[in-house]
Structure formats: structure tokens, C-alpha cells
Structure 1
Amino acid sequence: ITNIDDLKLYFKELTKQKLISLDLETDSVSPMQTTLVGMSFSTAKDEGAYIPIQYGDKSKNNFGKDDLKKVLELAKPILENPEIKKTGQNIKFDALVMKNHGVNVEGIEFDTMLAAHLIKPEGRSYKMDNLSLEYLNYHREPIEELIGKGKNQITMSDVELEKASFYAAEDADIVLQLTKIFQEKLDEVKLTKFYNTVEIPLIPVLVSMEYDGVYVDKKQLLDKSVEFGKKLDGLSADILKHAGTEFNINSTQQLANILFDNLGLPQIKKRSTAEDVLERLREEHPLPGLILKYRKLNKLKNTYLDSIPQHIHPVTKRIHSSFSQTVAATGRLSSSNPNFQNIPIRTEEGREIRKAFVAQEKNNIIFSADYSQIELRVMAHLSGDKGLQTAFANGEDIHARTASDIYGVPIDDVLPEMRRVAKIVNFGIMYGAGPFRMSQELGIPRAESQLIIDRYFERFAGIRDYIDATITKAESDQYVETMLGRRRPVWNINSSNHMHREAAKRMAINMPIQGTAAEMIKLAMIHIHKLMKNEKMKSKLVLQIHDELLFEVP
């Protein structure tokens, strides 16, 4: 569509539709910094329309003085009308780009990428090319054919109009066709209600959260980076002193030579220098402990202190991380650019990094709300274990209660070391750990860890029964599900390969727990977002980190 009359006529037709598929062409994959190149829509199979704004062979404006301004002005009433339902492939991206252009997309009804992930959570890719081939048996031309790769890559705004139009309109058409197929498939696996009450309503929440972003004090991070750098220099000197020779601390091969050849330490897993090996070797010599400290600090410095400031938006001065609903098979959200989910808040250094997350406005504060022991509480609910439920109902320290039960001492006499063991056991059981894994985690003989597990199951028989029932059901169904019905296949649960079978059992035990906890926080986000919107609050939900929500509030 390249003239104003056709454009007005087409938009008039769109207002009569119940469902339209929407796909944007942009010049980058960063929704908060990209430029809108064009929009495509489809309302019927094998049909699609492309509205170009920028293209390689453009010589004049098509829609008046300012093409972008005019297209947005005409598209706004349609995109903001909740009665005209929209479907898209990763529609969160399109909605975020539009929000950054002053248009709030309402009426999001479907997302093909989300549906594909829900139907097949173990899928290797949810890209449109793959989905088109798998479900429509149609080979779609990859975008690289249009824009190239590597150094010679151009953007969609440089592609000639004819080529760009076919590609873009085809996108919108494929999305519409996939929507119909996925709606039927969701019905088949009884996930339509879940999809419509959890995943789809979460999209506007994430759009809002990503758009608002989170503010970090750049100076604090840079100061911490210098401080961590000095600590690392000190640790390096200590490491080289204990090694008795110069070597590259970051080289695992050179470290293995020092540990096993020069120092003669026992080889636990061949010549591995992995974290669990170093943990066990630290009893033998000071060097492994120093290496662990060095690695931890080095990772925090490189991954967070040095990289987070690079993600600060040049205009908003905030960080707009991207949250995905289609990465984790359990249904947990994952974040990227940067990944905020992995900041370790259990350690002092991790907490130091979190201190840099501050309010941008002078009189605002950062407010954090999190679930306490959410996964253990979910396990107590799913298993129906009366002992665990009573401990939570009474507000007891759950790890101290477990220690009291497995060591047979009054709760007031539980020592810190007993509580540490009980904590590892509580989480280990929930993640499906057996006596061997538990003995490694606790650093005790296997027979002793078996004894602790036996005592645990004597006290919490409901959990043992729940685990047994979950595995039995998984063996017959070949899948497990959360409380709200999200499914995850466990193909290897009946495998003849022992390692594959045990890994599948661990997954079967943990997925319903972790997945249910993820659903709870998603529902909380949906309800809170709705409340803040209805009450016209100035507070913003700025970050989700697994079982915690961060708000910036006046």
C-alpha cells in the first residue's frame, strides 16, 4: 500500500474485523531503540498487506509530509481498540515497539510463539521459519536472504520495496494460519484456559515492565568494579603464592597441572577443576578455596558490574531488560540483555550489586516483595504432607523444623550446622536428589546421606508418597503438569539407560513444583498490574526476579 487513499480504505476494512494478525518490520531487534520500517496485517488465509514507511528504493513520501506520523495516526485507533483482537509472533516485541512510538496495543488475543512453546515446551526453536515448516509444511524464505549476514548485513529499511512487501505480508499471513492451527492444538491438550488466563494476560504486564525499565546507579557499579578489581588482584597474588609458580588462573588446563601434578591433590573426576571438585579439594589445600573465591568475584565483576552499565538506554537512562515466556520449559520467566535473574542475592557480593538498583526520581523508593520459601510451600500443598503444612501454618523456621525432625532434637537445640544440612536436604528432595547426590552436596558418606533421607521420609511420609505417585503417573502419562495444567514431557522416564531415567525422574519431581511457583508469581503480576492501572497509581513494576517483584514507588 503506497498511497493515502488505499491506506485509509484498508484501515477502514480492518475496523470491521474480529481478529487481525500484526507484524512489524524494524531496523533492529532492540524494541526500545528501533525504528519502525513498516507494518503488515492479514485478515484471511493467503492474504496480507504491507504498509511501508522506509525502504531502499524510496524516492518520495507516500502518505503526506511524514509517512511515519501519518501511518501511526491512522493505525492508532485500530491498535488501541480492545474489540479488534490481535495475534502475532512474539507480539510482545511489536507491542513494545508501538508503545515506544506512542501507541498502546490493546486486545492481544494470541501469540503463536507462546502457543508453540506451551504445546511443545522441549522445542528447539520457535522461530517463524521453523513453525511454518513444521505446521504448515511451507518453507519460508529466511530473513538472511533479504538482509544478508555478518559484516555485509543491511537492515529492513534498506531492502527494496517489492522484496520487503512480499516478505512482510507473508509473515502476517503465516501468523494468521498458525493461529488457527495452534488454537485447535491448545484445545487438544486442554491448555486453552491456562493460555488465556496466565500467558496471554501476562504480555501487557511484561510490555509495561520492559518499557518502564529499571534504574541503576552507574557510579555505584563502576566504584564496585574498581573495588572488586583490587580484591581480585589480592586473590591472584595469594593464588600464585600457594601455587608456587606463575600460571594463567583462568586456564583450567594449567590449573589442573598445578593441582594434580605439582601439588599432588587427588583426582576426583579425572582432571576436572569444576566447582564441585574444588569444593571437595578445599579440605586438602588452601588453593582450591582461593580459586573458588576468585572465580565467583571474577564472574560478578565481568557479568554484572562491567556489563550492566553498557545496557543503559541513552535517552531514558534506564535498563530495559527483555523477559521471555518461551525459554524455560517449567514456565519460569527468563531475562536477557542483561540477564537480571542470575544475580546471586544470597551472597554479600551479590547484595552489593543489588544496592545499585535505586529509584530514578528523587522522592521515589524501590520496594521489594517476595514469596517466602515458595517452592517448599508448593511442595507442602501438592504433597498434602501434614507435618510440612503444620510447620508452615505455625510460622516455624522450616529448615530448623526439618533439622529437629531428622536429628531428633528439640527445635531450640538445633545447631547452625544441623540447619545447614536440613536446608540442603529440603531443597535436594524437592529437586529429586538421591543418596549419591546428597552425599556429594553434604560432603558425607553415601550410607550416612541415605540414613538422613530415610529419616526425612519417615517424618514427612506425605512427601515420599507424593514423589512415588508423581513418578508412577509420569511413567504412564509420559508427562508431568503443574497445578494449573502446564505440561512438560518426560520422554526418558522409562529409558533403559539408568542416567537418562534418573534425570527424567528428577525433572518429573521438580517441574510441577517449580512450574506452579512460576504460575503464582505470574498471576500476582497480572493482578497487581491491573490494580495499579485501575487505580491510576504512579507506582511501577520494574523487575521480576523469580520469586521477587521490584517496584519503584513514590
Structure 2
Amino acid sequence: MTNKLVLIDGNSITYRAFFALPLLNNDKGVYTNAVYGFTTMLLRILEEQKPTHLLVAFDAGKTTFRHSTYKEYKGGRQKTPSELSEQFPLVRELLDAFNIRHYELENYEADDIIGTLSKQGQEKDFEVTVISGDKDMLQLVSKDVTVNVTKKGISEVEAYTPEYLLEKMEVTPEQIIELKALMGDSSDNIPGVPGVGQKTATKLLKQYETLDNLYEHLEEVSGKKLKENLTNHKEDAYMSRELATINCESPIEVSIDDLSYEGYSSQDVSSLFKDLGFQSLLNRIGAEETVEEIQEKMEEINFEIVDKVTEEMFTGDEALIIEMLSDSYHTAPIEGIGIANQEKAYFIPTEVAIESEVFKKWAEDAKSKKIVFDAKQSLVALLKKGIHLQGMHFDVLLASYLLDPSENNHDIPAIAHRMGIKSVLYDEEVYGKGAKMKVPGQEILADHLVRKTKALHLLQEKMEEELREHELYTLLKELEMPLALILAEMEHTGVLVDVPRLEEMGTELKRRLEEIEKEIYELAGEEFNINSPKQLGPILFEKLGLRIIKKTKTGYSTAADVLEQLEHDHEIIPKILLYRQLGKLQSTYIEGLLKVVDKESSKIHTRYNQALTQTGRLSSIEPNLQNIPIRIEEGRKIRHAFVPSEKDWILFAADYSQIELRVLAHIAKDEKLIAAFKSGQDIHTQTAMDVFHVKEEEVTSNMRRQAKAVNFGIVYGISDFGLSQNLGITRKEAKQFIERYFESYPGVKAYMDDIVQEAKHKGYVTTLMNRRRYLPEITSRNFNLRSFAERTAMNTPIQGTAADIIKKAMIDLREKLKDEKMQARMLLQVHDELILEAPKEELEKLKEIVPAMMENTVELSVPLKAEYAFGESWYDAK
């Protein structure tokens, strides 16, 4: 069998993969697009080339022996984006998992390593394939060496043999360096001869064959300017040839015998793929065995599939899982129920459980302790079946989230594997993923579900210990778990939507869009597709002659930030921006809301993500009711459609006033900020007075607006650049604003500095209620990563504490409403705002109770302030 040597240019392929694919990151927030692209190409190489010997070569550093010839070699190259440079170690880790040798040599480039090994390969009668995105490698082509050059990013390659090279480029392999000598190479900053491009260089080489021969017959060259350039830049041409020549005698410390390739362990690779989030590639490496095959290899687990629920099944301390394959649990069916205690495990088919009075009695018994995964989902799922689940005393999902909120995968198998429990399969190994997802046979389903349920017992023990160690146990038991039950009730209750009113709004919005469309056509002088950048660009920048801000590969950029800069240049621009805003309202909010309204009840049941954000804030999805745009009147009007669910009831909304700034005053212990809040002074007016050095009566609305931007910007660690963009001022002015702010509030400046140092020391920051956020990037050598972590360190204690306060207020309010035996109930939480519905006769009591509960839920060094409104709709309650 012929020995097959494959040599891969690691730098070139990784670069190409990075720029060919959109930025992707895995659940840990690590960028992976270059690694993913590199991996897909590597798998294709292994499948198609079937190498017996294999090496990936990398550049060792920025300086090579070529720099001693020409200091400007590769000069002018843009700095490697940090999002790419941080992926090179991952590519090397990937190669290790594949058992592929990788190598770099100080002072030499990957090209030189590849050139030297390809020469050795030819001498040993190997069939050699070189893979790169760099056409410099074409000088290595021979009867035994094929160079595959990537094109279209990395999705295709062009295989160069001597014959194909001659046909395609009209030169021989030996002439590639002569070609570079004449035409240069801007990507490597090789000068070449001015005025000589590929066409001219090829023509000269077809006539004279070599650079030496060309200069021996220079007088014969036609064209005065060409001859002059060749004469004046002879030294540049010879130096360029030297720079472009691959050194095939590099002093490498690897030989072909070291590159023998025996293949890889799919187990090692699949483990890394799962870590990187490359689930879609698992079947490419033969890692997708059948579920039966995988389960056979695992330790056998004893359980019973029950057809009748009996009291003997419950000992009083069970783990319980309500298995649903979709996150959309308001509409998804329950596939089965898993119950496990320390001795036995059971799989209960859904109908068997739901129809059993014994199961219902146990589920609703608050004294029967239950370890659950996702108390909120479990409660909502069973409430739909008429069972009010109680007695949940430990939630593994919320515990995992509190222990590390930066982890995106908090399902049971992922948590179990992180905690060293390997007896559980990943859900997608059992159910498949995406379009391939399906419910397996009952035996497989039962085995998987019982394994997960049993894992809850082990996880509770390990997690409780860790929570106590990190002082997070109280946060779980007294804040997050009680809140989960409240959120479940809110989700189950839903909020009523006036569907005809929403449809009417849609019709009105459509009519308004048609009007704006006509106005845009009149201003443009023709009709075109306003939503098409390809059509809009030429109208704005060619026909109307507006200044070009930015270009893209496909033409002119018409992105929102570009159009905003042109807003005062032509009256068509504000109309296009409004058209886009209204179009988004129509599609995302009007049509989007109508799609998710329950047909029978006319209610929307949004779903709250309690274990998602790293600050502790809640988010809402399906639909996202926290994001309805209210800056334009048309957006605010959508709230008209949210109405009380009972006759003679009202909606009551209460929200915290400037809670994050009040938290900042407390945490920073800034005396001036504290005094301003205690006196009831408008904080933005106070800041304007301090920053602009004026009296209260001299503060203009514009000054207050700028002060407001500074106040809220400070909370997010805003830079002078960010503030200048927000306010449309110069960076210098923005810098002065920030400096004057810190002069006025030195306690805030001290807090910002101290919290960053504390984060560097501890590796995390905490809220007042001890919620943690880990910041591993705070000591990164990468400026961008480190800066983001520093801003996060400043903001998280503030935003996270504000989130904790409203969560606690919800718990206190729920208890108060229950104690007072009121019918009022919470419907929605939108960041700092709570929306309730209640009978009109409870209004006076609500006015008293709701602000009191919100303002007194915690004690800070400044007063908390809650403002309320009420009315026939959510719009009226604002």
C-alpha cells in the first residue's frame, strides 16, 4: 500500500475558517467558529485522503528568519482579532484529541515545515498532499506532491498538480517564486516590482522563463514604464523571490516516521465535541451508537414500570421528574414520570399517574419531601392536569444555576457529568436532536428517565454541600425556590389578551406602513423593496447622493447605526427608520403575539427563564413580554391589548424608581449620592448640577438628559467612547463628563476601583444577597476580554442586587396578599415592574400594600421608592 502523507497549514486553515463562518460560541461563551470550520475540514480530509502519515504545522511567532532580510515582511497586517487568537489553543487541543501531531519551529513559518517534510516525503516515495489557503504553497507541487488550496472559505478545495497549475495559471511550480518576485504579495507585504500584476508577470515568465533570464534580456522588454520599473526595482524583485521561497531544508526536529497516523478514539473526540458544543458532528465520528448499545455498556439499573400507583412506592423523601421533551411545557405533553427513593425506582406512564388518587395525594402532600429538577416546570405541568404539586424541598436546576450562572447547560445529564456522575446519558443521545427528536420505546424511555431521577439524590447531596460552602444555600431556599412557585402560578394563570383589539392594531399598523411606503417612494422617485439593502443602498448613495458611511462585501451598508448618522442629511432617512420600527412591531409583536394566544382562553402564558442570566434577572420568552418597545407610541399602544381576565377588575402596575442607582449609592457608600436620595432630590438634576457646576434652576432639559445618560452609563461601566456615541458628543467631552462625575461622587469611583481589584483577587463578585458571578477573564492578557470582565465586575453587584430585591418583593407581596385573603394576583414581572390584576374593590388596599411591600423588602442606606398606576389595560396602568 502506498504511504500517504498529508501536511496541513494550521494557521492558514484556522484563519480561513474564522472568516468564513459567523462568530459562534459554545455554552461557556467561548468562541468556536474557527475550531468548528477547522474540524469540518479535518473530518473531510480524514475521510477523503485516508492518510497513513499526518502533521499540522503552525507558525511559531511573528518573527522569522525572513525578517532579517526585510524588516517589513508581513508588516501592515491587521492585528489578529482576539476572538480568533483565543481559538488557536482549542485547535491544538482538538488535534490532540484526534491523535494528530502538530508542530511549530521558532524563527520559521508553517510553510517551511511543510516544505521540508514534503521534500522528505518525495525522497521516501510517499504520495504527498499539502492543504492550505495560501497559493505560495504551489511552488511545492510536483508529480508526487498535490497542493489543495481552499476556496469559498473552506467549503471547497482546488487540487493543483503540475498539469493543472500550468493549465490554470500558465506557469510551472518552479515559476511560482518567480511570479511572486515580480508581482509581490500584499498579504505578506512582499514588494515585488511596482506596476507588475499577475497578468504582466505571467506574460514575462512565458517569454523569459526565469527572473535571471528576464534580467539578462531586459533590453528586449517592450514598454518604457515597465522596463524602467524592472530596472529601478531589480533589488526588490530578487529580495521578493528570496522572501517567497519556502525553505525546504528547515532544521525541524520531526521526521516522517514520527507522523504515522493510526486514527483516533471516537470516545476522546466525542467528549471534546460535547464540551465545544459540536453536537451536530458527533455522527461524523461514529460516536452515535444506538441507545440500546450505549445502555448495554452502562451499569444496569433496577426499576419497575408500574401500571398501578401504590402507597408503598413512597417513603417520604423521593426524587421526582416530570419528563417533557420540549422547553415549551405549556403545550408539550408529559412523556412519563420518574420517582426514585434510596431503595427503589419507578417509571410511571403519564395516564397511570394522572388518574391515580394515590399519586395525587402524595404529590399534593406538603409534608412529603421531594427533590425535583425545575420546580416551576413540574408545578405548571401538573397544574394543567389538576394536581397542585407541593413539598418540593430541593431544586437541582436552580442549585446548578446558583453554583455557576455562566454555565448554559443545566440539564440533568450535563450537571451529573460535571459532578462526576457518569451513569446518565445525554438527552440527545436518547431522543435525538432537532428534526430527528422522537420519543423512544417505553423500555428505553423508562431506563433513561429513572437514571436521571436517581441522579437527583446524588446531586442533591453534592450540591447542598457546595451551596453551603459558598454561602448560597439561603439564596436557593429563601429566594429562588419560593419565587419558582410564584412564577409557576403566574405562568399557569396567564394574562388575558383582547384579540379583536390586537387585530385592529395590526390593521392600523399595516395602513400606516403603506402610507410611509408611499412617502418613501415619492422621496426616492421610484418604487423599490425598502427591506432589501441591495436595492436601498443604490437609491440612497447613488441616486440621492448621500455620504457613504460604510461598505460591505455585497455593497453599501444600510444598517440602523449607519442610517442614524444620516438622519439629518435627508428627510427619507427618518421615514425608513420609522418604517423598519413599525415593520418590526407588526411582525414580532402584533403577529407574534397573535400566534401564541391560547385559542380557548384568549390568554398568553409567557415562560420565565429563572436560570439563564448571569446577573440573576428574569427573562421571558414565548413570547418575550419584557421587550415590547415602549419608546414609540405605536409600541406602547400594544399594551392596550393586555386586559384583566375578570369583569370589574383592573390591572395594577408598580415599578421601582431608579433602583439600580439607589443600590449603587448603598453599595458605594457615596455620601453625596446617599444624601441626594434621602432628600428626595431628582438624581439626574442633582448630577447635572454637579457635572455642569450650575444651580438647580439653571439645569436645562438637555443637561438633565446628558446627566441621566452618565448616571445610567456609570452603572454599566461605560467608556468615554460609549458615552460619546449615546450623546452624540466628542470622546473628549464624554471623558470630561465622566471625570467630573467621579469628582462629584468619589465614593462611586472608589467602589469601581475596589470591586475590580476584589474580582481579580477572588475570581468572582457577589450581590448583597450573596449571588455569585465568576469572572475568569478578569486576569486575561487579552485587553478586550479583560475590559469586559472589569465592566461586568462593576455592574453585576448593582444589577444583580436590584434583581434580587424585586424577587424578594414578589415573595413578600405574595405572602401579604394571602394573609389579607385578597383576590389580587400577580400576572407579570418586567424587570423593575410588577403587574397585578384585582377586583376594583381591592384597589385602595393595593395602593397601600404593593408600594409598602416593595419599598420595605430590604433595608438600604437610601429609601427604595415604588410608583404605581392602574387602569382598564396595561397601557392605562402606566
**TM more than 0.5:** yes
Alignment check: 8 A CA contact 1:269 1:277 kept: no
Offset from partner CA, 1:63-94 (integer Å, 9 cap, x none): xxxx45532x1112222222222222222111
**For 1:268 and 1:442, how far apart are their aligned partners in 2?**
21
> In structure 2, how many angstroms separate the alpha carbons of the residues matched to 1:258 and 1:121?
47
Counterpart position of 1:373: 658
Map residues 400-411 of structure 1 onto 2, 5 A cutoff.
400-411=685-696
The one of 474, 487, 497 equivalent to 1:216 is 497
Residue in structure 2 matched with residue 59 of structure 1 by the alignment: none
- What SS is found at the alignment partner of 2:817? helix
Give the deviation of 1:550 after TM superposition.
0.5
What is the CA distance between 1:171 and its match in structure 2?
A: 2.0
**5 Å matches for 1:141-540?**
141-144=425-428, 146-148=430-432, 153-154=437-438, 156=439, 159-262=440-543, 263-267=545-549, 272-540=557-825
Structure 1 window deviating more from structure 2 (462-471 vs 134-143): it is 134-143
How many pairs were matched up? 532
Query: Normalising by structure 1, what TM-score?
Result: 0.90
**1:29 Cα deviation from its structure 2 partner:** 4.7
Counterparts of 2:395 and 2:347, CA distance in 1? 20
List per-residue Cα deviations over 1:391-410 (Å, max 9, x = no partner): 22222222122112212222
Shift of 1:236: 2.3
Distance 1:129 1:287, change over 3 A: farther
**Partners of 2:577 and 2:699 in 1: CA distance:** 29
- Going from structure 1 to structure 2, the CA distance change for 1:380 and 1:314 (only over 3 Å counts) comes to same
Q: 142-151 or 459-468, which moves further after superposition?
A: 142-151
Structure 1 distance, partners of 2:537, 2:722, is 24
| 1:41–1:49 CA contact under 8 A, matched in 2 | yes
What is residue 294 of structure 2 aligned with on the other side?
none
Of the three residues 340, 359, 363, the one matched with 1:42 is: 340
Relative contact order, higher structure (CA 8 A, sep 6+): 1
Change (3 A) 1:3 1:129: closer
Residue-by-residue CA offset, 1:96-138 (whole Å, 9 max, x unaligned): 1111222211122122121111111111311223223222342
> Is the CA contact 2:401–2:407 (under 8 Å) kept in the aligned structure 1?
yes
In the alignment, what sits opposite 2:318? 20
- Distance in 2, matches of 1:280 and 1:328, equals 32
In 2, are the aligned partners of 1:280 and 1:443 still within 8 Å (CA)? no
Matched residues in 2 for 1:337 and 1:358: separation? Answer: 19
Q: Is 1:31 aligned to residue 329 of structure 2?
A: yes
1:398-456 Cα shifts (integer Å, max 9, x gaps): 21221122122222232111111111111111111111111111111111111111221
When residues 432 and 142 of structure 1 are mapped into structure 2, their CA distance, relative to the original with a 3 A threshold, is same
- The one-letter code sitting in structure 1 at the alignment partner of 2:513 is L
CA distance in 1, matches of 2:622, 2:333: 19
Asked if 2 retains the 8 angstrom alpha-carbon contact of 1:76 and 1:103, the reply is: yes
Q: 1:247 to 1:361 in 2, by over 3 A?
A: same
Q: CA RMSD in A?
A: 2.3
Q: Which amino acid aligns with 1:208?
A: E
1:49 counterpart letter in structure 2: Y
Distance (whole Å) between structure 2 residues aligned to residue 394 and residue 78 of structure 1:
54
Structure 2 portions without partners, runs of 5+? 1-303, 840-878
CA distance in 2, matches of 1:269, 1:434: 26
Counterpart in 1 of 2:111?
none
Please give the TM-score of this superposition, normalised by the length of structure 2: 0.58
- Paired residues of 1:136 and 1:178 also in contact (CA < 8 A): no
Q: Offset at 1:35?
A: 4.1
In 2, distance between residues paired with 1:33 and 1:87? 24
Superposed CA deviations along residues 278-313 of structure 1, whole A, max 9, x for unmatched, are 322213333333232222212222111111122122
- Separation in structure 1 between the aligned mates of residue 464 and residue 306 of structure 2, nearest angstrom: 35
Pick the aligned partner of 1:51 from 343, 348, 353.
348
- In structure 1, distance between residues paired with 2:767 and 2:811: 18
Relative to structure 1, the CA distance from residue 316 to residue 131 in structure 2 (aligned partners, 3 Å threshold; closer, same or farther) is same
Q: CA deviation at 1:252?
A: 3.8
Superposed CA deviations along residues 20-54 of structure 1, whole A, max 9, x for unmatched, are 11112347654334444432111128x52111245
How far apart, CA to CA, are the structure 1 residues paired with 2:551 and 2:821? 58
Structure 1: where are the runs of 5+ without partners?
55-66
Q: Would the alpha carbon gap of residues 484 and 153 (structure 1) be closer, same or farther in structure 2, given more than 3 Å must change?
A: closer
Greater alpha carbon shift after TM alignment, 395-404 vs 267-276? 267-276
The verdict on how the C-alpha distance between 1:194 and 1:28 changes in structure 2, with shifts beyond 3 A counting, is closer
Match of 1:551, SS state, is strand
* DSSP-derived class of the 1:485 partner: coil
The alignment partner of 1:7 has SS state of: coil
Conserved? CA contact 1:92–1:203, under 8 Å:
yes
Which secondary structure does the structure 1 equivalent of 2:616 belong to?
coil
Q: Is the 8 A contact 1:96 1:207 kept in 2?
A: yes
Alignment CA distance shift 1:179-1:252 (3 Å)? farther
**What's the CA shift for 1:316?**
2.9
Change (3 A) 1:253 1:125: farther
Query: Closer, same or farther in 2 for the Cα pair 1:433/1:151, shift >3 Å?
Result: closer
CA distance in 1, matches of 2:718, 2:418: 37
Asked if structure 1 preserves the Cα contact closer than 8 Å seen for 2:375 and 2:481, the reply is no
- 2:796 and 2:770 map into 1 onto residues whose CA distance is 12
The one-letter code matched in structure 2 to 1:12 is E
Query: In 2, distance between residues paired with 1:272 and 1:495?
Result: 34
Distance 2:428 2:801 in 1: 39
Secondary structure of 2:826's partner? strand
**Larger displacement relative to structure 2 (34-43 or 169-178):** 34-43
Deviations 1:244-289 (A, max 9, x none): 4544322345444444455341426875444333322213333333
Partner of 1:64: none
Give the letter aligned to residue 319 of structure 1: I
2:361 is matched with 77
Letter in 2 for 1:424: A
Work out whether 1:128 is the aligned partner of 2:407: no
Is the contact between residue 22 and residue 40 of structure 1 (CA under 8 Å) also seen in structure 2?
Answer: yes
Q: Secondary structure at the match of 2:398?
A: helix
Per-residue CA deviations over 1:322-360 (Å, capped at 9, x if unaligned) read 111111110000111111111123432222111211112
SS in 1 for 2:604: coil
When residues 494 and 338 of structure 1 are mapped into structure 2, their CA distance, relative to the original with a 3 A threshold, is same
Q: How far did residue 151 of structure 1 move?
A: 5.6
Alignment of 1:62-141 (within 5 A): 67=352, 69-71=354-356, 73-138=357-422, 140-141=424-425
Distance 1:303 1:467, change over 3 A: same
Separation in 1, partners of 2:324, 2:749 = 53
Deviation at 1:144, TM superposition (A): 4.7
User: SS at the partner of 1:306?
Assistant: helix
Q: Distance in 1 between matches of 2:579 and 2:365?
A: 55
The letter of the residue matching 1:198 is L
Contact 2:666–2:674 (CA under 8 A) maintained in structure 1 = yes
Q: 1:534 to 1:506 in 2, by over 3 A?
A: same
